[in-house]
Every structure is written in structure tokens, then in C-alpha cells.
Amino acid sequence: MGLDDKIRHQAEEAKGKAEQGVGRATDNERLEAEGKKDEAVGELKQEGDRLKDKLS
């Protein structure tokens, strides 16, 4: 597991949080939902990173 993957997964989660905030601020439900999805995907990938690290 490379450091670049971990950073990319954290960035994906952060992007999702930002999209949610913008979606809420602009009352854009689609953007908010997309942000929630991106955040969840980033969290899931980070959990996979942690699991791979434990197994290594």
C-alpha cells in the first residue's frame, strides 16, 4: 500500500465533505448526495488501506 494511495483516499473523503457543504449552502440536493457518496467511498477505501496495513 503506497502513501500516494492513502493520500488520494483521504483527499476523496475531503472532497466529499466539501461537496456536501456546498450542496447544503446552495440548497443543491444532488451535489450534497454526491458529496455523501464520495465521502463514503473515501472512508471505505481508507478502511481497506488500514486492513491491508494490518495484514502486512
User: Sorting pLDDT into bands at 50, 70 and 90, what band is 2?
Assistant: confident
* pLDDT for position 1: 61
* pLDDT for position 3: 86
Secondary structure percentages of the chain, helix, strand, coil, to 5: 90, 0, 10
CB atoms < 10 A from the CB of 39, how many? 19
Domain map of the chain by residue range?
A: 3-55
Question: How do residues 22-55 score in pLDDT, each as one tens digit?
Answer: 999 999 999 999 999 999 999 999 999 999 999 9
Residues 6+ apart with CB under 8 A from 33: 23
Round to whole Å and give the CA distance between 30 and 27.
Answer: 9
